[in-house]
Structure formats: C-alpha cells, structure tokens
Amino acid sequence: MQRDGTSNHMSTDEFPPEDSEAGASGKTSVLDEIAALIDSGLGACRAEVAFQKARAVLAARLTGRIALLALLVLALLFFVLLALVMGLLLALAPLIGPWAALGAVVGGLLVVIALAALAAYAAWRRLRRVLGFAAAEVLGAVAGGLLGISALAALPAYAGWQRLCRVLGLGPDRDEGEAP
C-alpha cells in the first residue's frame, strides 16, 4: 500500500497489451527467449574456448622461454661448480700437495653426492608413503607430467616402468593374478 491508500499492484486492465506478432498466449515470445538464451550460451562457450586457446598459446610460449632460461642457469651453475673445484685444487695443492688436494676435493664431492642421493631417496620414500602409490605409478605420473605425455600415449611407457620397478623391487609386492 502506498501512503495515499492505493495499491502498489497493477490491475489486470493496467497490463500493457501483448504484441500482435507475439501470437496466442505468449508462447512464441517464450520460445524466442529460449532461443536467445541458447545463442547467448553458445556465444559464451565460444568466447571461453577462444580465451582458453589464447591462454594455452601464452603458456606454451612462456614454458619454452622458462625451459631455455632454466637450461642457461644449469649450464652457468655447472661452470660455477667447475670453477669452485678448480679453485679448491689450486688452493689446497701448495698446502697438502697436489695428489692429496685431488683426493680431498674428490672425497668431498663424493660425500656431497652421497648426502644428496640419500636426501633424494628419503624424499622418494616419503612421496610414496604420503601418496600411497606404487613406485611405478609415481614414476609414470612424473615422467608423463615432465614429458607432457597424455595418459593414453604413456600406457606402454607405464608398463615398462612397472616391469623395471618390479625387477628393481621398488614397487609393492603383488600377486601374479592381480591386475597392476
């Protein structure tokens, strides 16, 4: 109710007249609305597909650039480590002799390699325990993800990983009749 006592609702004689082109009981206008809604949805789908294609192209370009920069970083890191080893050899040679310096540097590198290998193995075991996957499944997923292999294309490689892990004893023991 409004302040002057009249109703907010329109009476039936106040409704605007229907278009004569709309047809009987407005069914054509509802169908037109549905068709417009479908067209709008299709347009939104086309726009979304175009947007996702553009994102994929951008991601591919940036991934290539990132890979090249990562390779450059790894190459430069190799040269830095090489310079460190040479510097250690040159610094230790006058103090303990050239052969002892070589032994000390190689021994130190072997210790670092062993520690890194043990840390990688511990992380590997933790990953298997946390995710609950067999070693072959983890290797297949990682290899597929790193190489960009689709699931169907990775099936032969997956079977190869399974055999390798079974031979190496990395996967859980399975019965012969059980499917992998």
DSSP 14: G
19-39 mean pLDDT: 71
Q: Give the CA-trace dihedral at 108, 114, 118, 119, to 10 degrees.
A: 40
Q: Is-contact 158 120, C-beta < 8 A?
A: no
pLDDT > 90 fraction of the chain, expressed in percent and rounded: 31
Read off the pLDDT of residues 45-102 as tens digits, 9 standing for 90 and up. Answer: 888 888 888 888 888 888 888 989 999 999 999 999 999 999 999 999 999 999 999 9
pTM of this structure: 0.42
Tokens of 40: 């709008």
Q: Indicate if the pLDDT at residue 113 is higher than 90.
A: yes
